[in-house]
Structure 1
């Protein structure tokens, strides 16, 4: 496994670690080093969220007992998944992984592994590299892998499906699946903002939303035969609509930043002023277009108090409504690289792609990737002239033909996916 470029401290102190362990701990080591700002909710949880987390931690016993009382599944394929979209595999049942508790769904767990998970989570929350490299943490990781492997065998698991392969428990689940010869899948939950041959490539297979994304992963070095295209239940096809596009009620999406490097091949850090810089650039353009007020919708990970304390005026009103309500009420959406482009188009709103580039890189220090380069189904509006034109000409800004081509799938991929599942019954 490649070591992360630029993370000199971790690279030095991890010289005795094998590549897999280095990779397993990378995200959490980066969190300990870099992710401390209060502009992320996770670093400054409101009282309501803290209370909710307290209840979950205390009620996990009840969740476990509830799971024990629920139906036992026999004669069906068992799939472990916390993917954001349903897989719809015939004659199968999907169980949540043991590190996620929900009273609504049956979890793949036993009492022993829940206790181990709680111990691991306690250490992870401490954000201490010393604890992450301790013998105790290694001991708990080994115990978790052993117990999870036993559960895989006991339930005769058919597949492991995760939404990403960078988080700690997801990486561990993929490691155990490989040891037990159980097929594993990363099922994407959005349009990627970066492509490389490490991230999203740790499982046996990668599930993407269309041929356009598949080609981008192939270009990045991922083997073609491990990439499967799936129809997204919402974004699989788009009917041409007359897109609403005027300046009467503009919805601006924030330029959320990652608290840690968002790819494993290199160390790209973004300071939190980037988010404020982006809103100021949008405001400047909107004012030149005659707009005096706009609504600002934050990424779910962001803390609105950070914006309220640091935005210099009341040009922006923070949106607190649901995503659908926000899109219904607006007359236009302006935003950076984001899967929200698909939501906006689906709701009949023009999406003005504003993602400024300086010296070839975005404000976050990364190159733009398709479809956000302006050469795919949506134009780039980084100048005032481009923004004005694309607002006034939504049919030129959005190409439904190219959008549906980008999200089209290979017709034999579903059969291939089911074949992989049935082979492991």
Structure 2
């Protein structure tokens, strides 16, 4: 018996179009199943409230996509990575950085149109307040396919040398990758953290995977990735890190960083993992027991968020 709903729907899709977009919407469909309850961080609730600053920023992005025309240059790149230092590095190399309404890295230089804005609003409203079938239906799949054609035309108007992404898991990332592949534009997935898992279901959709260090690269190779497609680029925040610095190792000032006992989407297409919400509490009690045995009277706690 099949145990994973989205995999079952993909395998039994009635049309090739449905199969394609069910696969693209995998993470977002998972949210209807797993993303619930007060144990989910407020920043990742399906129906989380946006700040005034976020609302204004989103309106600026939409306005830019509808009414402002990004400048053209001989060398353009498309990016969903919004870090200022990343943009400055791209600019210093002589490239003009564009972004899209799908995953805007800025409210300037945004490629988009009315159809794309409408589709994204419908999807986001459905995820926040709707139900599973609001985005898992033929009508919405056809709407996505029209937007795919629109994005294809928008990218064709620019000589784009590469597409830079911060993930390949989300629907918007997969749609950009799909369009870029049609246009033979190389795609690059920049890891924005230490990987929680190493599986070919994740970080395998782009042409190249950009990682922080050689150890991470080797872990991906061990998981079956093509070594030639993995590039070590380092981490700009730790460019001046003292590799041979003596690190403190004592119980004078203990910081407890727990693992997460939740997940709001299934990373792989395999049988879903059962997440026990009590594990984080059990973990803290066990840490407390060990520290008390060491006669530690005080420790700091730092909550984590896993995306």
Regarding TM over 0.5, the answer is yes
Q: Distance in 2 between matches of 1:208 and 1:177?
A: 21
SS in 2 for 1:278: helix
Unaligned runs of 5+ in 2: none
Residue equivalent to 1:28: 28
Flag the 1:44–1:171 CA change in 2: closer, same or farther, 3 A: closer
Please say if 1:201 is aligned against 2:237: no
Residue equivalent to 2:284: 279
Residue equivalent to 1:10: 6
- Do the aligned residues in 2 keep the contact of 1:251 with 1:294 (CA within 8 Å)? yes
Residue equivalent to 1:255: 259
Residue equivalent to 2:81: 82
- Do the aligned residues in 2 keep the contact of 1:247 with 1:291 (CA within 8 Å)? yes
Q: Distance in 2 between matches of 1:294 and 1:113?
A: 49
TM-score, with structure 1 as normaliser? 0.61
Q: After superposition, what is the alpha-carbon deviation per residue over 1:70-112, rounded to whole angstroms, capped at 9, x for unaligned? A: 8724233233232767273411133333134576654333444
Q: Distance in 2 between matches of 1:214 and 1:301?
A: 21
- Do the aligned residues in 1 keep the contact of 2:208 with 2:230 (CA within 8 Å)? yes
Flag the 1:252–1:216 CA change in 2: closer, same or farther, 3 A: same
Q: After superposition, what is the alpha-carbon deviation per residue over 1:191-221, rounded to whole angstroms, capped at 9, x for unaligned? A: 2122122210011111112222222212211
Alignment of 1:85-234 (within 5 A): 86=86, 88-89=89-90, 90-100=93-103, 105-126=108-129, 128-234=131-237
Q: Distance in 1 between matches of 2:69 and 2:9?
A: 47
Flag the 1:221–1:154 CA change in 2: closer, same or farther, 3 A: same
- Do the aligned residues in 2 keep the contact of 1:194 with 1:263 (CA within 8 Å)? no
- Do the aligned residues in 2 keep the contact of 1:177 with 1:183 (CA within 8 Å)? yes
Alignment of 1:284-323 (within 5 A): 284-300=289-305
Flag the 1:176–1:56 CA change in 2: closer, same or farther, 3 A: same
Flag the 1:239–1:13 CA change in 2: closer, same or farther, 3 A: closer
SS in 2 for 1:186: strand
Residue 44 of structure 1: how far off its partner (Å)? 7.7
Flag the 1:23–1:13 CA change in 2: closer, same or farther, 3 A: closer
Q: Which of 150-159 and 87-96 deviates more?
A: 87-96
Q: Distance in 2 between matches of 1:138 and 1:71?
A: 28
Q: Distance in 2 between matches of 1:189 and 1:293?
A: 32
Q: Distance in 2 between matches of 1:128 and 1:155?
A: 37
Which of the residues 55, 61, 65 maps onto 1:63? 61
SS in 2 for 1:192: coil
TM-score, with structure 2 as normaliser? 0.82
Q: How many residues align?
A: 295
- Do the aligned residues in 2 keep the contact of 1:80 with 1:108 (CA within 8 Å)? no
